[in-house]
Amino acid sequence: MVVAFELGQYVPGNSAIHRLDPRSKLLGLFLYGLALLVAPTGESAFLAGAVALPAVLAAGLSPSFIWKQLRPLAFFLALIFFLQLATTPGTILVYLGPVPVTREGFNLGLLALARVFFLILAAVLLTATTDPLALADGLERLLAPGQRIGLPSQELALMLTLALRFVPTLLEEAERIMRAQMARGASFRGLQVKNLLPLVIPLFVSAFRRAEGLAEAMEARAYQGGKGRTRMRELNFTATDFLFLLLAGALAAGTLFYRLKSGN
């Protein structure tokens, strides 16, 4: 059975989160990630991370959509938690077979799980409420000052746009190849390397073919980077954007203050 999903899928809408400037959302994601990073305990990380839940509701994203985005990462999240749980020495609480579970391991596992889960949730919220072209535009504007020291902000923004555009396309291509190979008797059970070869090799060939076609199309149109190009939509900060960044900054500062005060 093939499980299809679209990571980073954009959901058109007119919510307050959708209307935020993409630059403020990118900066907000950075500050939010900083708050999660400096949270000293699992409980504080969950409290800091829970701020994203009202934003998800305000964006009008359904629980089924969020679940479809996060479900492919469930095993990865569980692995993060159980690795910390099983490998951290300390006060033993219980044994899971031969593996001792310690209080310190449980706390570190909770902290790591909260950080990764809520950061992924915030990234899903960003991509679901921001048009990929607007997101690339916002990133280019944020990186523009780096051009003074030779940072290729326009090329980096183009790379982001292409990545966001082609990830769903490659996932659809992978599903098509899997169905075709399964019809020929291929098996993908167990995710062993030899079982994945009938998928990986055609997928790489398809990806290189698409990349070559895109490069030829860009050369045929005399693409020379973004220098001198005009934009259909100008980006402007509003009072809502400043309020959003103020709240994100307050969350990061508050979490940092709590860490310093707790001495962790």
- Residue 121 clears pLDDT 60, i.e. is over it: yes
Whole-angstrom distance, CA of residue 172 vs CA of residue 175: 5
DSSP code at position 131: -
Selection from 199, 212, 66 nearest residue 127 by Cα: 66
Indicate the SS3 state at residue 96: strand
| Residue length of the chain | 264
Could you tell me the CA-to-CA distances from 255 to 1, 112, 252, 260 in Å, in that order?
44, 16, 5, 9
Report the percentage of the chain scoring pLDDT > 70.
88
H or E element in which residue 99 lies: strand 99-102
- Residue 6 clears pLDDT 80, i.e. is over it: no
- At 126-174, the pLDDT tens digits run 989 998 888 888 888 888 888 788 777 777 777 777 776 677 677 778 8
Whole-model pTM: value is 0.75
Tokens of 159: 């790379």
Average pLDDT over residues 179-192: 73
**Rounded CA Rg of the chain:** 22
Distance, CA of 91 to chain centre? 35
Segments making up each domain of the chain, as ranges? 1-130+237-264, 152-221
